[in-house]
Structure formats: C-alpha cells, structure tokens
Amino acid sequence: MCPETFLNRQRGAGLPVALFVITVLALIVVSMAQQQESAGAAVGQQILSQRAFYAAESGAQVAVTEALDGGSCGSVPGSVNYTQAGLTGCSANLSCSSVQADIDGDSTLERVFTLVSVGQCGSGAEAASRTVEVRVR
C-alpha cells in the first residue's frame, strides 16, 4: 500500500473543530472581560454613593448643631463643602424649616426644625446624591 493513496482519502475535521473551539473560547474571554469591567464600575459607583451618604449625614449634623445653637433656621448655612480626605470633592446642600407645635400635650408650643441635607459627590456621569432628613426640637 502506498502512502499517497491514504493521503488522498483522508478527510479530517480538525481545522473546523479547532476554529470552532478558538471562536468559542474568544467569546467566553470577551464576555468575562465585559463582566469584570461592569462589576468594577458598579463597585466604584457604590463607593461614590456611600461617600454622598456620609456627606449628607455630616451636613445634617452641622445643620442640627447650627439650628439648635442659633434657635432659628437663619443660622443654618446653605451649603457645606468638604476638604477632608474621605469627602474631598463632596458637598452638602442644607435647607431648614420650622414650625411651632404642641408635642407633649401640655399646651406649650415648642419649635420643631425640619432639616434636609442633600449630599453630592462626583460630577457628570459619575455622580451620586443622597438625601437625609432630620427633625429636632
């Protein structure tokens, strides 16, 4: 038997199978890379959102202190810009309203402050905002 006759009769599927396997593996690698990228972006947005919440919390604390010490909404600043390492680039916009109400039921009116703090971090597409509302008397 001649080797040439065997070569003429061979019909292999090696090349199509190899191309199919390479294509499937490339698609898997691309989808994993996209998933990793979106997971990284989600983590970054979560961190930015948490920083915005802490900015709003800190702003609410400032507003409570100023409202109770000053006795009126006029002493509450309109905004607070942070320069500390954890909140750099963040700010809190503050608003205040007050009402006189009988809280204890003894017909003595007390002043109740409603303080709203909106914390904002980042800018453009990468921005986060959180709101904290506090009532104190």
* pLDDT for position 2: 58
**CA-based nearest residue to 75, from 85, 62, 93, 88:** 62
Q: Which residues, 6+ apart, have CB-to-CB distance to 129 below 8 Å?
A: 52, 118, 119, 120, 121
Mean pLDDT of 61-74: 90
pLDDT digits (tens, 9 = 90+) for 78-126: 899 998 888 888 999 999 998 988 877 788 888 899 999 999 998 888 8
User: What is the distance between the alpha carbons of residues 126 and 11, in angstroms, rounded to a whole number?
Assistant: 57
User: What is the distance between the alpha carbons of residues 59 and 81, in angstroms, rounded to a whole number?
Assistant: 9
pLDDT digits (tens, 9 = 90+) for 1-34: 555 666 666 677 788 888 999 999 999 999 999 9
Q: What are phi and psi of 67, to 5 degrees?
A: -65, -45
More confident residue, 75 or 7: 75
**Predicted TM-score of the model (pTM):** 0.71
Q: Which two tokens stand for residue 125?
A: 């597409």
* pLDDT for position 8: 63
Q: What are phi and psi of 71, to 5 degrees?
A: 80, 5
